[in-house]
Amino acid sequence: MSEISPRHKVAILRVLRDAAAPLSSAEIADRIAGYGLDLSPRTVRLCLQRMARAGWVAAAKRGRHGGQAITPGGVLEVEGTVTLDRLGFTAARVDTLAWQMDYDVERGEGRIVLNVTLISRANLLHAVREMTVVFRAGLGMGRYVALFAPGERVGTLTVPESQVGIGTICSVTVNGVLLGRRIPALARFGGLLEMADRRPARFTELIAYEGTTLDPLEVFIKARLTDVHGAAITGNGRVGASFDRLRERELDGILVIGKPNRPLFDLPVAQGRTGMVILGGLNPAAAIEEAGIPTSNRALCALCDFKRLIHYRDLQAAALELVER
């Protein structure tokens, strides 16, 4: 085959990087679909052969079956890939997951788009207290959350030992619900929304999904630009939000819906469209980081059956059970 497409290389290395064990070509082909790519196991196998010669992957023993694992050189390669080769991955992931989800609002059933935050198991109870404050203030994307034990898999991510995963509903889920009702929805920006007296005031920072290699909310959290705790306690602060009214059942994360063809918070809106501001699903994770608890966040991590989630009021009991295992 010819040289590996940079897009294929990045996707394969990312899948292997996020896996807790070596993967076969068929497993990689299945997981790579989450990046909007359709590769056959044979194509993946040919790519892996070239990548092995470059030192990015290596064969590994897995019981009676072989598999491929990423090498330290492969990790450096995916993290140092030319930025333009990775540009648009976030936007493509948003569109792919929005189309693939099948959540039914009326029945409260189906798959939603989930963010996953990894923290130390020892910090879980503290983290739950911080998250509960955010949910009570209505600053989370909905009111439901999932917990994942060490070794449990979420999409292509496996929770490492000594850590736990916290799943929150991603704002892209709203896009998927609208698309399911034949209402086109386009996520344009992720940003920081200033709250004043518990009301949205203005965007202080914006990152366009089409122009970034990273999820905007992940960037804002690690840069410590958020003040979700302050917004939850005093009504004044900075929360994550996306600029894209749906207030039904569990998906009550929409803050503002503009008027057709009119700018919203000074952001332009094209003819025939209406602007909408949705709370960021990672706001609870931002509050955890603000409290001094280190986090590793994976926005747009996977599709997840809604039945796997629990109401935030039941989170403390579920966390206690997980910690005591």
The pLDDT-based confidence of 277 (bands split at 50, 70, 90) is very high
Domains 6-85 and 97-323 share a fold: no
What single letter denotes the amino acid at residue 249? R
pLDDT tens for residues 287-314?
Answer: 999 999 999 999 988 899 999 999 999 9
pLDDT tens for residues 126-140?
Answer: 999 999 999 999 999
Sorted by where each begins, the domain ranges of the chain are 6-85, 97-323
Q: What are phi and psi of 64, to 5 degrees?
A: -85, -5
* CATH of region 97-323: 3.30.70.1360
What is d(CA 78, CA 289) in angstroms, rounded to the nearest whole number? 26
Q: Which 3-state string (H, E, C) describes 83-107?
A: HHHHCCHHHHHHHHHHHHCCCECCC
pLDDT tens for residues 78-106?
Answer: 776 655 556 666 777 788 888 888 998 88
260-294 burial, b at 16+ Cβ within 10 Å, e below that, comes to eeeebbeeebeeebebbbbbbbbbbbbbbbbbebe
The pLDDT-based confidence of 268 (bands split at 50, 70, 90) is confident
User: Which candidate, 169, 204, 167, places its Cα nearest to that of 189?
Assistant: 204
**Residues of the chain with pLDDT > 70: what percent?**
90
What is d(CA 112, CA 281) in angstroms, rounded to the nearest whole number? 12
Q: What is the mean pLDDT of residues 278-284?
A: 94
Q: In what order do the strands lie in the sheet with 237-243?
A: 199-208, 189-196, 237-243, 276-279, 254-257
Tell me what the pLDDT averaged over the chain comes to.
87
CATH class of the domain defined by 6-85:
mainly alpha
Q: Which residue has the tokens 């709370």?
A: 279
Identify the pLDDT of residue 247.
35
pTM of the complete model? 0.77
Identify the pLDDT of residue 239.
96
Q: What is the mean pLDDT of residues 243-258?
A: 64
What is d(CA 187, CA 180) in angstroms, rounded to the nearest whole number? 15
- Contact criterion met (CB below 8 Å) for 265 and 320: no
The pLDDT-based confidence of 253 (bands split at 50, 70, 90) is confident
CB within 8 A of 167, min separation 6: which ones? 114, 115, 116, 117, 145, 146, 147, 148, 154, 301, 304, 308, 309
Enter the tokens of residue 230: 């302050």
What is d(CA 58, CA 49) in angstroms, rounded to the nearest whole number? 9
Strands 189-196 and 199-208 turn out to be antiparallel
pLDDT tens for residues 1-25?
Answer: 567 888 888 889 888 887 767 889 9
3-state DSSP percent of the chain in helix, strand and coil, to 5: 40, 30, 35
Least confident span in 171-180, 205-214, 295-304: 205-214
pLDDT tens for residues 32-57?
Answer: 886 777 889 999 999 999 999 999 99
What is d(CA 194, CA 197) in angstroms, rounded to the nearest whole number? 10
Q: What is the mean pLDDT of residues 218-233?
A: 95
Identify the pLDDT of residue 83.
58
User: Which candidate, 77, 32, 29, 18, places its Cα nearest to that of 52?
Assistant: 77
User: Which candidate, 277, 283, 202, places its Cα nearest to that of 246?
Assistant: 277
Identify the pLDDT of residue 325.
80
Q: What are phi and psi of 17, to 5 degrees?
A: -65, -40
The pLDDT-based confidence of 61 (bands split at 50, 70, 90) is low
Q: What is the mean pLDDT of residues 267-286?
A: 90
- Cα torsion through 12, 18, 24, 30, rounded to 10: -70
- Contact criterion met (CB below 8 Å) for 209 and 93: no
pLDDT of residue 205 exceeding 80, the answer is yes
pLDDT of residue 245 exceeding 80, the answer is no
Kindly state the helix (H) or strand (E) to which residue 10 belongs, with its residue range.
helix 6-18
